[in-house]
Structure 1
């Protein structure tokens, strides 16, 4: 029986926090970083990680699927990037690999910028549990791979910015009210002084403006700060943003034109015969705002988030199992949305 994906599950504070991601960058001692390695060296690293992750004698507790970037089809690579499992340009590099669980909550990226990156995704605000799983995997894999570590610099990584903990914790936020009132630039500047980053995270990187108001809040400091302190700081700031966003939403939701836009968004999604990827994102995030402010009811956040993940072009095409023209894809997307939301 197929397992639900992590993004199909509900999460804490999900009206604002879409997802939590913990990423640990690790390297293996005695090997050049992937960009300086030859093909034989990269394959050796992949084999070592694969054996460590799939060893039945350890307490890994996960069954991983494996995808080699050397062998991956273009559409599959695009879908991995759409689902945030890899950087968009990683599949095109034709080197490295990816191990991931059926629910896609835990993944191991091999030979990208570092020898290994451990990733854990959870729905909503769940920094503690996501980190606990990443740390558990880190401990198990370290016993077999012996990650490069310096007593002063911490974990050694290709990018000096990741020295220390090697941890990048991030929260994907939906901040339409703060985006609308123009306060996010000031907020981001203040957070930068605290070692945190708040940057717009477009749903479709090829579009200059899409109106989804997605932002990524993450830690920038990895050296001289423990993982626990970094997570505590990030959560504290996130909770402040939650309060500010919810307060601003009260004012925004009172505007008649906003109420109209939310109602129209749901109407289009329920009745359109064709929907583009960009239009889908704009409309579904408008509906998400409507649910959060009580303008709409009867729609679960996890259903909206699953649609946004699974109806992206490459992912939708793969699920269909055949090549689709743009018109066919837009028609199928509208049909699926109609079934879910009506």
Structure 2
């Protein structure tokens, strides 16, 4: 991949390129879908050089926004890391941990050390013990077969814990490049921009040096020791609810402020609707409470199980919203997940992209979760 002055040459040679490809990264240009690679507004096709919106933002605004790629392309990029001498920084979203953890990462990175950076800790209630959260993360990473040199908790948005990220980079980099990997919507671009400001001293060069060469593989951000921070595209996991809903609905799914747990005392055969996006049925068990951890913007509606189907048919997209009735057509139909919560356990019912429901009783329960087909739904040891 070209870097430094060579990248400037690549960018300014656009006169020799066809207008159907980006002069900055070589991606095929398209004017239809703004959140897909290669997008360029129709009016911008007359500019010189002709570059996609992503490259335009990098050049003019120092915006290290990630571009999403499909899983096969992302895994090809991951596989190339094994042949490098790098520190791999894997960023995950604590709100959607199981949904954003890259499964099988270890086999792609070879012997390179992996630093696990857990973002969005600012969303947890202030009373939560962060040492307990860190231990929980370490255990989950181990179960997933991921060997980490360290686990760092932070909030890239709020800046909390970022000193610990920088300390870990200093400790484990040892003159290596830094590859930053993660799924979409985990806050990777926010963290990258913080790294640029705090870790790289070459901000004046970013408008040229952060262009990729001829392929849409990664963005190289030079460090003063001759190495680079390599920002890889965000991987799309269709098992995450946030990848399946219309963009407007994301506002209701992605919390921006600390979660406010909602406690529901339920008898068996009662249901909770999360807008018209998902449904939770307490099928059988002793009366007990369930604590919901989801975005405050997501409306939760309680009803009897015997009325749930009728309520959904009559009020989806209206009383039960989001999404709207029209937007429901863009989301896969629900699939039922039948789960048994063991006696004596401390368990969460996790729904990727929506949050989780904590079962507060140790008496056990049988529950059903209805979520769009493909969304990851599972039982896990309690996070909080």
TM-score (norm 1): 0.30
Which structure has the bigger radius of gyration? 2
- Greater strand percent: which structure? 2
TM-score (norm 2): 0.28
RCO (CA 8 Å, sep 6+): is it higher in 1 or 2? 1
- Greater helix percent: which structure? 1
